[in-house]
Amino acid sequence: MSDRTFSREWLTRRHVTAPFMSRVVVHSEKLHQDDDVSLHQVVIYDEGRYWSVVFQESELGLGHLDPWFDQDLVKAVEVYPVYRVVSDWKEVEDGAPAPLCRPLDVNGRNSLVCHEQAEWVMAYRYNGEARVTELCSEHLYTSLNRNGNALDIREVKHR
């Protein structure tokens, strides 16, 4: 793990505590909040590498709270992106329940429900029989990259 220090002046000039105004901040998230102070993590891009720094912010707007914990040099840790699947929640329209993903087993049949919302409808043929299933993005990807001999995908549509 690689560490680096940034001067508070460098961070301030680049608006790191205001991520929407900064050209170097690539990610920002609130780590913790209590009644008067919140902790934030930002990832900044500098010299071809990504660095994570933490700052604090007053939730009350009262008095002076130094974002860099009264330090002239702020420690940063080198980080890298990790991609992950994130679920979004959408309102169910017309009182109909949101369909859940029905992943396929090795025989091309629907197996257990995976509890993710089905974003895709896939029409396919398996051993000459026409079938339709509803899948989440992850299971659609799995189905599309499966041994294609038995699973003859005819059409895929996004809901």
Assigned token pair, 115? 């509890």
Question: Which residue bears the tokens 């990790």?
Answer: 82
pLDDT tens per residue, range 31-82: 999 888 999 999 999 999 999 999 999 888 766 889 999 999 999 999 998 8
pLDDT at 150: 62
Q: What is the mean pLDDT of residues 22-27?
A: 93
pLDDT tens per residue, range 3-16: 999 999 999 999 99
DSSP string, 5-25: EEEHHHHHHTTTTSGGG-SSE
pLDDT at 55: 96
Q: Using CA atoms, how far apart are residues 35 and 16, in angstroms rounded to an integer?
A: 23
Higher pLDDT, 136 or 52: 52
Q: Which residue type, as a one-letter code, is found at position 117?
A: Q
User: Mean pLDDT, the chain, as a whole number?
Assistant: 83
- Give the confidence band of 145 by pLDDT, cuts at 50, 70, 90: confident
Task: Give yes or no for a contact between 7 and 73, defined as CB atoms under 8 angstroms apart.
Answer: yes
Q: 13-22, 112-121, 132-141: which range is least confident on average?
A: 112-121
Higher pLDDT, 111 or 141: 141
In the predicted structure, residue 95 carries a pLDDT above the cut 90? no
Q: Using CA atoms, how far apart are residues 121 and 156, in angstroms rounded to an integer?
A: 6
- Provide the 8-state DSSP code for 111: -
